[in-house]
Amino acid sequence: MLANTSLDLIMRDVFLELPEFVPGCRTVLKLEGHHITGSIKIKPAIALIEAAEARGLATPGLTTFIESSSGNLGVAMSCVCASKGYGFICVTDPMVTQANLKAIHAYGGRTIVVDRRDANGGFVGTRIETIRQICAEDPNCVWLNQYSNPANAQAHREQTAQEILRSFSAPEWLFIGVGTSGTFMGCAEVFKLESPSTQLVAVDPVGSVSFDRAPGKRLIPGIGASQKPQLLDASQADFVVSVTERDTIATCRDVARRYGILLGGSSGSTLAAIATLSPQMTRGDTLVVIAPDLGEKYLDTIYDDAWVARHFSSENRAVEMSS
């Protein structure tokens, strides 16, 4: 493979089977962490900016794009902006990993870290409020709004869903973690038409309000929301599974030791959801699980014993310290 630009470095057909993750079933991860910038977010980042260009909203050397992100989209957009000659500001919060913060800066982006929680205990509302204030003061700032922009879902409708169906024409189950809901909605639209027998599972962390559940404090970025995503149509999910962060951490650590791969928190959450529905699975079923990123960005958090001990008490033995 010889790429013309860094934005061509999207590894579309990388899958990893996890033997006996569910006894009698085939569990396959769609690994999205091998793209440039290390996550699935490069797809919507390109789509969001290209949509703005098509609408005449972008001038290289003049326009500064601004976006709210817990990390991965911020890194992806800073990469795209560097490649295309735009400025970039990421409005994020204290949950962002240091690896993602440093990557945004390395690409030439700027970061604003808000620390005031919104009404639901998260930071999305505060991040959006900050963006609106900045855009009101600077006419060269353009907010693409990943939470409502149809280009977000379109990227996954045209890419992620088709990539899965090329390799697995009609999997019995598709598990997708829900953050902005772009991945879920894009894939749901395609699967409802092209593989209607596939059970679509939306995975949400406990404390997220995306599916009208009680708000709560969350520590793992990249999945869930403190404001319901405008793109989300909950009726498209055949099942919605809420996962505790303790189960997320336990799953990430278990997969690292059993299968030799470090997964990010959203990937661990999505895998952890399988246990809830395993009684409804039939021997021979194929489960496809979208893994948005890998775990290197989380070595200081979910894979760090001190961080886990600080934030999660020993009352739940599912989160064990490494020996």
**What is the Cβ-side half-sphere exposure of residue 255, based on CA atoms within 13 angstroms?**
30
The pLDDT tens digits of the residues spanning 86-111 come to: 999 999 999 899 999 999 999 999 99
User: Where do we find the tokens 């996962």?
Assistant: 243
The pLDDT tens digits of the residues spanning 136-194 come to: 999 999 999 999 999 999 999 999 999 999 999 999 999 999 999 999 999 999 999 99
d(CA 151, CA 162): 16
pTM of the predicted model as reported, rounded to 2 decimal places: 0.93
Stretch 15-41: mean pLDDT: 98
d(CA 107, CA 125): 26
265, 222 contact by CB (below 8 A): yes
d(CA 32, CA 38): 7
Which pLDDT does position 121 carry in this prediction? 84
The pLDDT tens digits of the residues spanning 256-314 come to: 999 999 999 999 999 999 999 999 999 999 999 999 999 999 999 999 999 999 999 75
Query: What residue ranges define each of the domains in the chain, with the CATH number in brackets?
Result: 6-39+150-311 (3.40.50.1100), 42-143 (3.40.50.1100)
